[in-house]
Structure 1
């Protein structure tokens, strides 16, 4: 079956690529990993204002059936998280309350005890970080994360392509691409939208079942980071406190000033 004709105008200076029939408007993807991604990203973000195309690095094999954004629009984020936290706490409280080490094989380092989040009920969303006095824009934060990933040659990045997605915001891209991971896409995209608004977050890469987000205005203090860490936990991502086993206070303590968040689902 032949590919559809060009469906939308593209910015200049793109590497060789093609259109794919992905979603209502299709997407454009490069034929190979863009070796100059770090240099291209500032231009692509400027071009986004004109063309309405969100750039990201993405493995082509994770594209699936698109999810209509009405499913994201319909999700009441605070109400959903309150219910999810109550269930999560009910399931985990016996482990949080018992400091007895979990049995592991002799050649495995014992897992540290996780006391869990210090909340008996849903504490509400972490407050937004003000953009006043912040020198880094969401665009510059995104460029920095892409440059850092490219420089480090991170696992799975070489299999990625530059993908341009017709979208109003980067938070909607996982749904529009039908990202094939075990992530709950309506909830995840609702969280990403909220993180965009509160923290200047942007989706920059989908490397297999891993999602990478740049952050322009991360929390700066422990109390703020603790609230955000709970939102990360409730995203259901496996790596937040479960893989590897990480006590909640330790994970929350890693968030102040952190300009990249990564999530993955096994």
Structure 2
């Protein structure tokens, strides 16, 4: 059940928030998030992130579709009632299932794309070595995402990974129609790589990464998870897993886009 957002918002100190409103889903139901009317100042995301343990509200930097900025956040084009709980999913099994579907499709051009693994799922990557404080790094990442189109969103969630399921985000619908699955993977990445969810668009996702891979072998294992999670990052980007892995070495932010 989604907590009473009005009550959670009222617990914030006066003058904390700019003007904004609760957004209800188009198909009805309680509002799953609050949305600012205008782009936030650069420091507001960090202040709200630091208050999350007390407020229960995780901040997101939200952007709309380039051809229609009302979609999905302003228009409430979300379906929280259709999303599962992240706790229902085994991440290793989930990624293995997605890998099997992606690694055997004709679209990837054969096993050269997924070399050195071919069609064999390599399993979950080992945790990274945390070199940066995750929350501080998330604050720095947020500063780079604020622009003239960005809105501030507040979602009632115990952890940032859960916000996509709670909000009812449907960005990866051509890959999975259940944001609860996406949130489950993000929970695992929070634990293993110090990931924090920072920005979400119509079908894009931006996270900060405190413990990225720093060796080629580890980067390949992480790249395999990314390919299962968001194959378009490879299919319509680096084109091969090996080339994509090179991009992940030491990278303190990850971005995803689903076609």
> What is the TM-score with the length of structure 1 in the denominator?
0.79
Matched, 1:83 2:93: no
Matched residues in 2 for 1:253 and 1:20: separation? 40
The number of residues matched between the two structures is 235
Task: Summarize the alignment of residues 108-187 of structure 1 with structure 2, pairs less than 5 Å apart.
Answer: 114-120=112-118, 121-131=120-130, 134=131, 136-150=132-146, 153=147, 158-181=148-171, 182=173, 183-184=175-176, 185-187=179-181
Q: Which residue of 2 aligns with 1:100?
A: none
Q: Is the 8 A contact 2:129 2:212 kept in 1?
A: no
Unaligned runs of 5+ in 2: 64-69
Q: What is the root-mean-square deviation of aligned Cα atoms in Å? A: 2.5
Q: Which residue of 2 aligns with 1:27?
A: 33
Paired residue for 1:61, among 71, 93, 112? 71
Task: Summarize the alignment of residues 1-266 of structure 1 with structure 2, pairs less than 5 Å apart.
Answer: 6-8=6-8, 9-12=10-13, 13-21=16-24, 26-34=32-40, 36=41, 38-59=42-63, 61-62=71-72, 63=76, 64-67=78-81, 70-92=84-106, 95-96=109-110, 114-120=112-118, 121-131=120-130, 134=131, 136-150=132-146, 153=147, 158-181=148-171, 182=173, 183-184=175-176, 185-238=179-232, 240-244=233-237, 246-266=239-259
Describe the shift of the 1:160–1:83 C-alpha distance in structure 2 as closer, same or farther (beyond 3 A). Answer: same
How many angstroms does 1:21 deviate by? 3.6
Matched residues in 1 for 2:36 and 2:12: separation? 13
Unaligned runs of 5+ in 1: 98-113
Q: Which has the larger radius of gyration?
A: 1
How many angstroms does 1:168 deviate by? 0.5
Describe the shift of the 1:5–1:94 C-alpha distance in structure 2 as closer, same or farther (beyond 3 A). Answer: closer
Matched residues in 2 for 1:167 and 1:200: separation? 17
Matched residues in 2 for 1:168 and 1:25: separation? 17
